[in-house]
Amino acid sequence: MSFFDGIPVAPPIEVFHKNALYLNETAPVKVNLTIGAYRTEEGQPWVLPVVHETEVEIANDTTLNHEYLPVLGHEGFRKAATELVLGENSPAIKEGRSFGVQCLSGTGALRAGAEFLASVCNMKTAYVSNPTWGNHKLVFKKAGFTAVNDYTFWDYDNKRVHIEKLLADLEAAPEKSVIILHGCAHNPTGMDPTQDQWKSICEVIKRKNLFTFFDIAYQGFASGNPDADAWAIRYFVDQGMEMVVSQSFAKNFGLYNERVGNLTVVVNNPAVIAGFQSQMSLVIRANWSNPPAHGARIVHKVLTTPARREQWNQAIQSMSSRIKEMRAALLNKLTELQTPGTWGHITQQIGMFSYTGLTAAQVDHLIAEHKVFLLSDGRINICGLNTKNVDYVAKAIDETVRAVKSNI
């Protein structure tokens, strides 16, 4: 007899499970297109040179210590992260209507933001895009939201943002619902609304008195330009919207396991900030008490030292360029093979992922027959491709769509 008798075994977390299946695979030829982490042309993880140099400098800085950070985090980091996403000349910054809260990467920022909205503001209905990142619903449910609904995002037939249904779903959402929007490089589809579509989305959210929760995990990584990738968020700020924005520095700094993130908060009245920050301090205190310093120090130094920031700009440009090259290479090869179906979306999509349109049965076939590992919804991490394996992957997709029929 145990206190824990009868606990059902939960399903595995797909992205980590598939990654483990790849790592345990003994076949001589295998390809990992699962987890969203950057890989070099050699298929290896990449420590950005500017991150490495900054880490060495931090390690040698004897003025630093390992004392606790404040509950809301490293002050310089919070400011730099907020400026990165809102832009240094943001009206919200100039008018003292914004601030950052250091969190445990993007997930921690989502969790702290969600828990704050549920427990302090009594907002308990959220809407996530369909499809969305595999963790969004879980985070909001565990944080106290009683309803986590979908809004339509993807037009599966035409492989585009289904803007008409998206807007209709937002129109139907009850007042004060929290709308989770991907700031750029939508995960998993890799397709963002156009600027005109963002304007329509903002208009509905404002008119219906819904609350905006942006999640931006790929700033700079998507287009190579951090300002361009923050366009939608800055547009919402310009329209006078209040919001919270979860930011991750996992992908754009390659700091995946350092858990560096920020929750940027924009309010329309600076008088509410004292109450907000004091209640948020309690949310953080009850979760991780105070955040880790290492990653925050790195991001702070890089963003606030002009020469380092330039090195970082070059690194994100080189990562995003390699991804674009791999998109083009995959599309070219599929075109050359005359693979059944349409594949132009591979180069229209941006960021790390392509939502290929492959069915779950085709994914199973790709894994079983070709040892090409990807998620069951057909999402591939383009970073897993390189000049040595892209032809192999294209041929594997070609064989698969001929062997396992679907309507793509």
Told to check if 373 binds ligand LMR by CB under 6 A, we report: no
> Does 94 qualify as catalytic in the annotation?
no
Taking Cα atoms as reference points, which of 10, 8, 16, 30 lies closest to residue 371?
A: 30
Told to check if 138 binds ligand LMR by CB under 6 A, we report: no
**Interacting stretch for ligand LMR, rule CB under 6 A, among 38-46, 55-63, 132-140, 364-372?**
132-140
**Interacting stretch for ligand LMR, rule CB under 6 A, among 133-141, 195-203, 268-276, 322-330?**
133-141
Told to check if 133 binds ligand LMR by CB under 6 A, we report: yes
Find out whether 198 and 163 touch, Cβ atoms under 8 Å. no
Cβ closest to ligand LMR, residue 134 vs residue 144:
134
> Does 133 qualify as catalytic in the annotation?
yes
The residue from 46, 124, 133, 169 that is catalytic is 133
Cβ closest to ligand LMR, residue 32 vs residue 102:
32
By CB under 6 A, the residues from 36 to 65 that bind ligand LMR are 36
Rounded CA separation 204/168 (Å): 9
Closest distance to ligand LMR from the beta carbon of 187 (Å): 5
Closest distance to ligand LMR from the beta carbon of 35 (Å): 5
Angle formed at CA 324 by CA 360 and CA 135, multiple of 5 degrees? 45
By CB under 6 A, the residues from 336 to 355 that bind ligand LMR are none
> Does 238 qualify as catalytic in the annotation?
no
Taking Cα atoms as reference points, which of 70, 118, 91 lies closest to residue 270?
A: 91
Q: Which residue has the tokens 């001929």?
A: 402
Query: Which tokens is 69 given?
Result: 């950070």
Closest distance to ligand LMR from the beta carbon of 134 (Å): 6
Closest distance to ligand LMR from the beta carbon of 15 (Å): 4
Find out whether 229 and 220 touch, Cβ atoms under 8 Å. yes
Told to check if 15 binds ligand LMR by CB under 6 A, we report: yes
Query: Which tokens is 342 given?
Result: 């349409």
Binding mask 246-285 for ligand LMR (x = CB under 6 A): ----------------------------------------
Binding mask 80-119 for ligand LMR (x = CB under 6 A): ----------------------------------------
Told to check if 187 binds ligand LMR by CB under 6 A, we report: yes
The residue from 169, 215, 229, 398 that is catalytic is 215
The residue from 79, 124, 251, 333 that is catalytic is 251
Cβ closest to ligand LMR, residue 38 vs residue 116:
38
Cβ closest to ligand LMR, residue 19 vs residue 317:
19
Cβ closest to ligand LMR, residue 159 vs residue 259:
259
Closest distance to ligand LMR from the beta carbon of 384 (Å): 11
Closest distance to ligand LMR from the beta carbon of 1 (Å): 37
> Total binding residues for ligand LMR by CB under 6 A?
7
Cβ closest to ligand LMR, residue 32 vs residue 98:
32
3-state SS record for the chain: CCCCCCCCCCCCCHHHHHHHHHHHCCCCCCEECCCCCCCCCCCCCCCCHHHHHHHHHHHCCCCCCCCCCCCCCCHHHHHHHHHHHHCCCCHHHHCCCEEEEEEEHHHHHHHHHHHHHHHCCCCCEEEEEECCCCCHHHHHHHCCCCEEEEEECEECCCCEECHHHHHHHHHCCCCCCEEEEECCCCCCCCCCCCHHHHHHHHHHHHHCCCEEEEEECCCCCCCCCHHHHCHHHHHHHHCCCCEEEEEECCCCCCCHHHCEEEEEEECCCHHHHHHHHHHHHHHHHHHCCCCCCHHHHHHHHHHHCHHHHHHHHHHHHHHHHHHHHHHHHHHHHHHHCCCCCCCCHHHHCCCCEEECCCCHHHHHHHHHHHCEECCCCCEEEHHHCCCCCHHHHHHHHHHHHHHCCCCC
Closest distance to ligand LMR from the beta carbon of 133 (Å): 6
Cβ closest to ligand LMR, residue 133 vs residue 154:
133
Query: Which listed residue (31, 33, 35, 283) binds ligand LMR by CB under 6 A?
Result: 35
Could you list the active site residues? 133, 215, 251
Binding site for ligand LMR (CB under 6 A): 15, 35-36, 133-135, 187
